[in-house]
Amino acid sequence: MKILIEKGTVVTLGKENKIIKDGAVYIEGNAIKEVGTTTEISAKCKMQNAKCKIIDAKGKVVMPGLINTHHHLYSTLARGMAIPGEPAKNFVEILERLWWPLDKILNKEDIYYSALIPLIECVRNGTTTIIDHHESQAYQLGSLDELEKAAKEIGIRSCLCLGISDRYNKGKEGLEESERFLSSLVTRHSSLVSGMVGLHASFTVNDDTLEKAIELAKKYDVGIHVHCAEDEADEEDSIKKYGKRVVERFRDKGVLGAKSILVHGVHLDEEEMDILKETATNLVHNPESNMNNAVGWADVLKMLKKGVLVGLGTDGMSSDMLSQMRCAYLIARNEKKDPRVAFMEAPKMLLENNPRIVGQVTPFGKLGEISAGFLADIILIDYLPPTPLNENNFLGHLIFGLVDAIVDTTIVNGKVLMENKKLVGIDEEKITVKSRELAQKLWSRF
């Protein structure tokens, strides 16, 4: 398909971020071909006699699609579910009373529908790429196929993995499913789906399982995606069992590197942060989830200053990356008790670092910028700026204006998934009816 987006305020992002008033973007197939003013690009299309779909972006900001570098699609069916007994008083109890029992009873259909719902929410929120971390201990073999099917049906670019854990079958099925899925990707390359080797966390993976997972990652030239120091219990367990902190253990075993993602990092010490920098390992910050679980705040400002590549994720809390970005901005100021910080850093995690992380851990290609040759993952947001909007003050509009604006159009890989706020080719009502039916059955088994 050929698409011409015209008459919008185009925000290119990238190193030389440009804001083009009355701007246009021309798309061929899954890539951006031309960017400029409406007059320039429309004239070129006419000269080339290019027949294309026209999208009127007047009154809208046109910018690259947003990226979520740590999601949990499987958590959807837990919304509104009553948990028996007293409320969990700490992070370990949250795992033991909610998430671990949940992922033991998910079946094939549950996994598929629990993925469809947040993927639709991605479309609505302008999140065009996700890196997902799955858990379904009782249904592991074939689980990643269900996620892939859902990702392709909705059209969201997705990097998938299964969180291998010794909690069930000593990690054997998790390793088997990971190899099966990664092996299949070798013979059927997809522009929308890729994979990593997932691990749950240091405290649920022994050395034997860890070493086998690393061998698997090396075999398929992918990274490890693992929760790290989300709670103090993770660090305490590692010190007790292995005589070293989590990141030290991961470094010594070979987990770390530019293709791997450590998630949370709330309780990392200074030396562990330095190891992340030295090994060029990615860390993903999930501020809303950390607040929800009351585990603390990761000092991402210190990590960024050290040169650690820190991205931004939701940890399954939502698929809204703009609100996640503002949460990262606000909590950093609150924790540091300093109103001078995070104005640059929070948007950087979302707009610069997330595309860099995806570029390092997946084979998808160039994302995060509206420039010729980049993948056509583009969103249009309803926004009539009440004050002048330019390259120098864009972040102010992003944090205090665009964050509350409505996404009008979402394009992924050159395909329109939502236009004029209406989903294209997706029966949301039918999907949610089925999801509610499955949730009721799931809750009865909990």
**Count of CA atoms in the C-beta half-sphere (13 A) of 10:** 24
pLDDT band of 189, cuts 50, 70, 90: confident
pLDDT tops 90 at residue 168: no
User: What is the C-alpha to C-alpha distance for residues 405 and 260, in angstroms, rounded to an integer?
Assistant: 33
Tens-place pLDDT, residues 115-141: 999 999 999 999 999 999 999 998 999
Q: What is the structure's pLDDT at 45?
A: 77
Average pLDDT over residues 427-439: 97
Tens-place pLDDT, residues 272-331: 999 999 999 999 999 999 999 999 999 999 999 999 999 999 999 999 999 999 999 999
For 5-9, 42-46, 191-195, 232-236, which range has the lowest pLDDT when averaged over its residues?
Answer: 42-46
Mean pLDDT of the chain: 96
Average pLDDT over residues 329-358: 98
For 182-191, 263-272, 274-283, 356-365, which range has the lowest pLDDT when averaged over its residues?
Answer: 182-191
User: What is the C-alpha to C-alpha distance for residues 369 and 398, in angstroms, rounded to an integer?
Assistant: 16
Tens-place pLDDT, residues 55-94: 999 999 999 999 999 999 999 999 999 988 899 999 999 9
User: What is the C-alpha to C-alpha distance for residues 132 and 193, in angstroms, rounded to an integer?
Assistant: 11
Instruction: Write down all domains in the chain, each with its CATH number in brackets.
Output: 2-65+368-423 (2.30.40.10), 66-361 (3.20.20.140)
pLDDT tops 90 at residue 36: yes
Higher pLDDT, 46 or 388: 388
Q: What is the structure's pLDDT at 42?
A: 86
Q: What is the structure's pLDDT at 170?
A: 86
Contact predicate 352/366, CB 8 Å: no
Q: What is the structure's pLDDT at 160?
A: 98
Tens-place pLDDT, residues 199-229: 999 999 999 999 999 999 999 999 999 999 9
Q: What is the structure's pLDDT at 15?
A: 87
Q: What is the structure's pLDDT at 281?
A: 98
pTM of the model: 0.97
**Helical packing angle, 143-154 and 108-125, nearest 10°:** 30
pLDDT band of 190, cuts 50, 70, 90: confident
Kindly tell me the burial class for residue 232, based on how many C-beta atoms sit within 10 Å of its own C-beta (0-12, 13-18, 19 or more): middle
Q: What is the structure's pLDDT at 43?
A: 82
Closest by CA position to 144, among listed 124, 164, 128, 125: 164
